[in-house]
Each structure stands twice: as C-alpha cells, then as structure tokens.
Structure 1
Amino acid sequence: MNKTFRVLKKIILYTFSILLFLSIAGYVYLYVLPKGPKITATQKINNGIDSFVIYAHKESERKSIKVWTYKPENWNDKDKIVFVMHGGGRNADDYLNAWVKLADKNNLLIVAPEFENKFSKYTTNDYQEGNLFSFFGTKNPKSEWAYTVVENIFDHIKSVNSITNEQYDIFGHSAGGQFVHRMIMLMPESRIRTAISANSGFYSLPKENVEFPYGIKNTEIDLQKSYEKRLIILLGELDNDPNLGTFRTTDLAMEQGTHRLERGTTFFNSNMELKNKNNWIFNWEIDTIKNVGHDYKKMSKHSIEWIKN
C-alpha cells in the first residue's frame, strides 16, 4: 500500500512539474521573447501594393507587425482611409488584394495589418478578442490591446505621410468582424468613422454577468459611448452553414445561435433592447446581403456603400 502511494505521489509530482514547466515556457514564448518580422526603414507609402513593419506598441519593442497597403495613384490627403481586418487565416495580403479594385474605383487608401501568430489555431485572444487578457487569463494593459495597435498604425501613417485625416473607416470579416465589433465596444474613443463587422463567428453580448469574450464581464465597457459610434453589422443571407470556416460550438457560443446569420441578429437585437431600455443614442445598423454566404470578397464589395455614404 505504501509503495503504491509513493508511486502515485511521484506521478503526481512529475505531472505537476511538467505542467509548470510548459506553462512557464509558454508564457516566456508568448509574452517575453520578441516577436514579429524585422522593422523596415521609415518611408512614405508608395502607390500600388506596398508594406512596412513597425513596432506594434508605442511603449514596447517586444512585438512588431507587418502592415500591407494599397494606394491608388489619385489618392490625396483627406481622401478616405480604410483599415481591412483579416479573418482567422491571418491572411492580410489576400484581404488587401480583394480591395484593390474597390480602392481604385472609390479612391481609398487601404491599410491591412497582419496579426501573425504561429499558434493562431489554438489561441484567439491576441487578435479577435483584442488581447485584453493573456492566454493565461491575466489582464493586459490597454497599451497592449490589439485595438490600440490599429490606432498606433494610423498615427504612424499620418506622421510619415503628412496626412491630416482625423478619422478612418474599418472593415473586418469573420474573425476580423469579431475584432471590429469588439473594438467599437471597448474603444469608443478610437478615431473610427464607420465600422463594418461582417459575418462574425460569435459576439460579445451586452451581458455583464457573462465572461468576456461571450459577454462583457470585467471589461469596464461604457456601452452608452459605444452606441454613439457608427457600427454596421453586415450579414450574409446564406451564411447559415456552421461547417464553413472555423465555427465555435461552446455552450455560450451556441446560445447566440446555430449559425453566423442567427448570431449576428441575436447580437444586434440584444443591443437594441438595451438601448431602448435606457433611451440612449444608437448609431448601429444591421444589413443582410442577399445571396451571399461566408465570402469576404463579396462582403467587401457590399460594404462600400456604407463607407461612401
């Protein structure tokens, strides 16, 4: 009996030691070691497709980010700037290419940040959930939020290119749609003019008793200010197949609906109910695009009217 107990004790001790080692190693890799591509020389954005790499955070050189751009030949200061947020594949270059013709036709400067992460299949907190919390659940300072990175990129573009624009528009599809709607909720002070959240996989409902990212518990969100921003929930009428893309099926996610179209409607209606209850200003709208499913290219085309008007 004593021998069995000693063996069991050793197994538990070894298991705990291994888990502790993996946790420490994971934390060091994710939050201590420098990450990202090599910083590029500071220069103005060229016409056509271009890219640059800057530090993601103003107060830290630990992480860098690559930013893809497309600038039409006739684009000038004060013309519109549109940030395009990629999906879960983190393929910013593909999203940029989907906007090239749209940019030429509507004279838009396109900015597509690339939130690179080798472990993006296993962790989503660093991008679509805004990096509010680390993978281990600890709170990150606001200066390290993913949403702050967008504001930092805007500042960089303005200063390097002598741009005087005071606002920008932003479009995100799928995981990018999650990014956009949460940015409006969590950073209403951002300089976004029109935000378009397209075909999000799931949402942060305005429920203070539900943990983030499914609710807003422990986030200190001021929804009254968030509702003053212009947010468009853009849904594909045919985005009702949960087998397309990465679709979260946790209990809290399934409570929002069995597919993306239903979840988007649930999110909008929940916020509308809260707005009506408090009689707040509400600049959010919902738009369902006919005959379109989970397709970022087609959803991008249909977002243009919201950006133009």
Structure 2
Amino acid sequence: MFKNILSLIIAAVLTLNAHYSLGDEDFPGRKYVCPPCKHVHSIFETKEYQEAGKCPVCGMNLIEKPFYEKDELPTIHAGSGSFQFNSKRSNATTPITVFYHKPITYSPNSKILLVIPGAGRNAWSYRDNWAALAEKYNALVVSPFYPEKDYSYSAYHLAGVVAGIEFKNYTVSKVDGRVNKYHVADTDVITGAITPNDTWLFQDFDEIFDLVVSVAHSNRQSYDIFGHSAGGQILHRFAILGSSTKVDRIIAANSGSYTLPHLESEYPLGIKGIEIESKSLKEIFSRKLTLLVGELDNAEEHRGTLLHTPALDKQGVGRLSRGRSFYAESMSVAKAMGGDFEWDFCMVEGVGHERKKMAVAAAKLLYGGELCTAKMGI
C-alpha cells in the first residue's frame, strides 16, 4: 500500500513542468528566466518572470533564476533548482551555476551523480533529462553550467589543458542550414602551450561533490559522473589526466574526438609533454571508465557537430568508429605495458546522437544493474 502511494506521489511530481521546483512556499522570491538563446545572452541580466512556464519570445521552457548568496552555503531543496559554486581553480573568475534535481525520496545515502553537458552547455536541459531517472534510482543529480562566453572550445571541450586552440582555413558542411561538420587540415590546427593543472576544468568536479555532500547532509564518499558529446570528451580526458580521488564510475557518451593515452602525439591527440598526476599509465587503465556510444552515431548522423582533420579521421569518420578505435588502441597500450585494463565499451542499439536516450542507457549501467555488452538496447 505504501509503495503504491509513494509511486502516485512520484508520478504527480514528474508531471509538473520540468523546471518547477518543489518547496516554492519556502522561497517566495523565486524568479524565472529564459535560458540563453538568440535573445538571451546572460541568465543573470535578462527579463524575470514570476512563474514557471514558457518564454513568450522564443517558447523555450523558463528555468529558475540562479541566486547567489555571498559567503553563505547554498540550499538544495526537493525537486529541481540551482545554486552557485565558487571554483578554487586559479583561473576561475566568476561563480559557476549548478543545476540540480533532488529526488523526493532523498536520504543521506542517496547516490550523487554529476552530469557534464555537451557543446550547447545547457546544463538545465541535461538536468531535466535526468529528473525522472533521479527519482527512479534515488540519485541527486547536479549539472554545472559553463557558458561559452567564458569557456571557449579549448577551455571546455579540451578542459583547459592547453591555453587555446585555433582552426585556420576551415570549411564546413551543413544539413538543413545548420553546420554539422568542420573540416580543417592538421597543419591548420594551432594549439597553445600546456597550462598548469590547477587551471584544468577537472579540478571542479570533486569540489562540487564536496559542496553537495555538505549542504545535502550526504553520507556518500564518492560520486559517479556522466558526460555526453562534448561532455564525453571532457570525461574521457578526465579519466586520463584528472587527479580525482573521489570519483567512482565515469561514463563518457558519444564523444566526438579522443585523446589517446600514449606519449607519441601532442595534446589533444595524445599526452606527449603533459605531466600526469597519476603514478603511471597503469593507474589510468584501472579507472572505471565506460565509453558509451550510440549504434547510429556513425558517419551518417547529422545531429551534433563533428570536427574532421586527417589525423582525427584515422580514428574514424563517425563517433561510433572513433570510440571503437580509441578503445582498441587504449587496450593495446595497456597490454603493451603489462597492466590491467578495466575500461568498458558499450554500444547502445538503435540510438544516435541523442542525449535523453543515452542518459537512460547510462542510468541502467550505473544504477539498474545492466551489464556492459557489445549491444545494449534501451
């Protein structure tokens, strides 16, 4: 009987507007704004609305306007919301907005998942994709927002490991008027110098977890992390170059390009010239990294944007082939070193470059007891 009542309550919560947050009576001053699109460049400097709903200008769902309480710990209430986080990275200049969903069945033992968005940086959308899954698996989901105006391609996709990257003389391919491919010669990719590791984006992940543990009164000692598309690029690089001691499982989904864990090529193709904080490459291969790729995220996939250079295309011309190539070459490097290889490769059957369906597949792997196989239907 209790389970049936609880199920009804959860169902009622999930039928609410995706951006509505439980506990509004405790926050009477809450405002709503349109997320960044063509007519909104900053969610902090735009028109405010008193209630959740759709933007009257573009029709996008309004999101809760983040608020920042200087020198005070944020509040995480049941349902969906946001808070701000001050990164300790030496190059961080502004607070980072973190969007979250806290399940109504939350307890101090609930799982904690960080979700890293794709190139659109739309952390609120990724949070919403995970809201029902957060309720189903009783996981507190948090997704940081790194605006493009503050975090360039090199600062985001490449995690700030290099000072910058420039693509010269490139050409583009379009589908329905939208750019879906960039083509550039290897000699026209100009990469900046390697930066100090205390400036790398990876540094934020443990800090966000520690803050969430504190304000949510969690007992968790570790967290899981999922990234899709550009977020997947960040996370497989996190597995290779990051120094986290608190991350448990890493799922990098539908990555567009890869950094190979060898010393033969310079970043971002390889890790030549980078001081790795791990004791050795053997330690990297023992981390719980899963490469999650859609079966249809191949050369025929038009969604997302893919970079093509002769060097990258040797890995494959689609995300699926590039993921397979990266996995096979990484396994070869690990075996040559005589170490263990704990990474997994999972292909999700019948799915392309789709963040919602990849989230479902990732949740099954993380919390649903699904095993990683060559083909995984959802």
Q: In the TM superposition, what are the counterparts of 1:68-217 in structure 2 within 5 Å?
A: 68-118=99-149, 123-135=152-164, 137-217=192-272
Residue 255 (structure 1) shift: 1.5
Contact 1:57 1:63 in 2 (8 A): no
| Structure 2 counterpart of 1:239, one-letter code | D
Unaligned runs of 5+ in 2: 1-41, 45-65, 166-191, 370-378
Change over 3 Å in CA distance of 1:119–1:154 after alignment to 2: closer
1:204-237 Cα deviation digits (max 9, x unpaired): 0123121111111122233211111101111101
- CA displacement at 1:85 relative to structure 2: 0.7
Q: Higher helix proportion, which one?
A: 1
Aligned-partner Cα distance in 1 for 2:233–2:245:
16
User: Secondary structure at the residue paired with 2:159?
Assistant: coil
8 Å CA contact retained: 1:86, 1:95: yes
How many angstroms does 1:60 deviate by?
6.5
Code of the residue aligned with 2:297 in structure 1: it is D
State the identity %: 33
1:54 to 73, 85, 94: 85
Instruction: Structure 1: state its 5+ residue gaps.
Output: 1-34
Query: Post-superposition shift, 1:162?
Result: 2.8
The question of whether the paired residues in 2 share the 8 Å contact of 1:36 and 1:65 is answered with no
| Amino acid paired to 1:155 | D
Summarize deviations over 1:56-100 as a string: whole Å, max 9, x none.
226566232110010001111121101111000111111110001
Q: State whether residues 206 and 247 of structure 2, in contact with CA within 8 Å, keep that contact through their aligned partners in structure 1.
A: no
**Number of matched residues?**
273
What one-letter code is carried by the residue in structure 2 that aligns with 1:40? Y
1:242 CA displacement? 5.1
**CA–CA distance in structure 2, aligned partners of residues 159 and 253 of structure 1:** 42
The equivalent of 1:32 in structure 2 is none
Paired residue type of 2:289: L
Give the Å deviation of 1:271.
Answer: 0.8
Matched, 1:229 2:287: yes
The alignment's C-alpha RMSD in Å is 2.1
Question: How does the TM-score come out when normalised to structure 2?
Answer: 0.68
Paired residues of 2:335 and 2:341 also in contact (CA < 8 A): no
Pairing partner for 1:274 from 333, 336, 342: 333
What amino acid is aligned across from residue 254 of structure 1 in structure 2?
A: D
Query: After TM superposition, what 4+ stretches of structure 1 lie above 4 angstroms from structure 2?
Result: 35-39, 58-61
TM-score normalised according to structure 1 size? 0.83
- For 1:295, give the aligned amino acid: E
